[in-house]
Amino acid sequence: MTATDFAALLQPDRGQPARTIQVVPPDRFAAWLTAQPQRVRTAVAAHGLTGKAGDRAVLPAEAADDWSMLLVCDEPTSSPWRIASLGASLPPGTYRLADADAGAAALGWLLAQHRFDLYRKGNHPGPRVLLTTEPAAIQETVRVATATARVRDLVNTGASDLGPAELEDAASALAQEHHATLSVTRGEALASGYPMIHAVGQAAVRERAPRLIELGWGDAAHPRVAIIGKGVVFDTGGLDLKPSTAMRLMKKDMGGAAHALALAELVMAAKLPIRLHLLIPAVENAVAGNAFRPGDVLRSRAGLTVENTNTDAEGRLILGDALTRAGEETPELILDFATLTGAARVALGPDLPPLFTDDEALAADLLAAGATVHDPLWRLPLWDGYDEMLKSDIADMVNAPDGGFAGAITAALFLRRFVPKGVPWAHMDVFAWRPATKPGRPKGGDAFALRACYQLLKTRYAAR
């Protein structure tokens, strides 16, 4: 769905006819029910509702053809998912909340109506429009919904239809829309300047050649912020081939790039006063006679050498070169997103992305931003004691220590070696995939930590 599509679903409340949604917390249900007319109490009894979270019922009004909707919900009013279940299930029409303005819940209402329909054309119901008494907030809500939908659509797209060139096309479209500059280093041109990106992507066919995509936007006088996203469009594991069960969802291994594109879109659309530098190393980790091998020693843009102990630990390699390039422009802040490790999922599950940073102020601000917009992160340590696990007998480091201990931490420690000293940097090890449907969040590709990072940037820079 486009911004125009989402904007049609959220409209100013000018007193126009609309059906009412009554949201009642479980602990207030009994008191609410007592205050209702007999026809409402009868309807609630007929539905067998007891006031537990998730209870819902159509409530009759005085007019024969009029009705309102009851939802018992334990989500706070600040949650975007408060009425998301209704956004996907109510009949087409116009609605307003009875107890308060739409507020944060408007985002979930919009996203509940998003559909990924590239491969399957369905009969979509008509629009479910939500009214808001805060028209000034509509544009921002639509922006966030559009960016989230971008992540979902890119991650859900099959690798046959989304390769490095298509990621470049997505960045190019954003550059044109927001009058940004685009620079792309492709194929063999990477060999000297970005040797780890080249090594990982060199086995792909020519049409899917590796590349580093860079977008620049904003006033040069504003503080520079670098946003980096891992763009592995498909990960076979390379010569350390993944089993089929682990390869099934590897179309989503470009989820970091999708997040970075979406965050860049939000920054430019909101015209935040920063000098944006977006970097996406885009590759396919393919298998061929020229694929990089276990035991190869790779040179990096930073001049460090890396003994490749596992071709399936390729994401950190391409990010290393991208982080080095970002640091050359002396940014004030670096944020990176990557579907980097299965260890992060084992530790925290699919919904809670780990945050890694050495900067205490940045950590506090990001965690606070995530709590504010209900987009949580959980800080894991960049534990210096594990840095020795990256030791190599023949090179400056290995890319993946043996044994698998602390896999998410050692991956983050690897990345840290390519971050300029003194530059605040945060790494988000996102899953980019929702294994089960939740209200407003269907199974499939999804954004995690995107709204938290956007809130951070707004808080830090919008007031400047």
Which residue in the list 41, 242, 299, 379 is annotated as catalytic?
242
Tokens 């954003």 belong to 174
Say if 197 falls within a structural domain.
yes
Give the number of domains in the chain. Answer: 2
Tell me: pLDDT of 360 over 70: yes
Identify whether 242 is a catalytic site residue: yes
Distances (CA, A) of 184 to 165, 179, 198, 278, 285: 10, 16, 13, 11, 19
- Is residue 316 annotated as part of the catalytic site, yes or no? yes
| Stretch 268-282: mean pLDDT | 98
Question: What value does the mean pLDDT take over residues 220-237?
Answer: 98
pLDDT at 123: 74
Both 407 and 426 in a single domain?
A: yes
Q: 257 and 202 in one domain?
A: yes
Q: What is the CATH number of the domain that holds 414?
A: 3.40.630.10
Per the structure block, which two tokens stand in for 445? 């590709």
Residue 219 shares a structural domain with residue 334 = yes
Q: Pick the catalytic residue: 143, 150, 316, 416?
A: 316
pLDDT digits (tens, 9 = 90+) for 11-55: 999 999 999 999 999 999 999 999 999 999 999 999 999 999 999
Q: What are residue 59's DSSP bridge partners?
A: 68
* Inter-CA distances, 272 with 289, 322, 348, 367, Å: 46, 23, 32, 21
Identity of residue 259: H
User: Which residue type, as a one-letter code, is found at position 166?
Assistant: E
Range(s) of the domain holding residue 409? 143-461
Whether 269 and 400 map to the same domain: the answer is: yes
| Contacts with 384 (C-beta within 8 Å, 6 or more apart), sequence order | none
**pTM, to two decimals:** 0.97
Reported as a pLDDT band with limits 50, 70 and 90, residue 463 is low
Q: What's the mean per-residue pLDDT of the chain? A: 96
* One domain, residues 112 and 183: no
Shared domain check, 157 and 122: no
Same domain for 106 and 212, yes or no, is: no
Query: Once rounded to an integer, what is the mean pLDDT over residues 164-188?
Result: 98
pLDDT in tens, 64-106: 788 999 999 999 999 999 999 999 999 999 999 997 789 999 9
114, 235, 262 from 240: Cα distances, Å: 37, 11, 31
What mean pLDDT do residues 190-207 have?
A: 98
* 448 and 422 belong to one structural domain: yes
Residues 212 and 65 placed together within one structural domain of the fold: no
Domain boundary among 99, 133, 167: 133
Predicted local distance difference test score (pLDDT) of residue 100: 78
| Stretch 189-194: mean pLDDT | 98
Residues 325 and 437 in one domain: yes
Cα 195 to Cα 222: distance, rounded to the nearest angstrom? 31
Indicate if the pLDDT at residue 124 is higher than 80. no
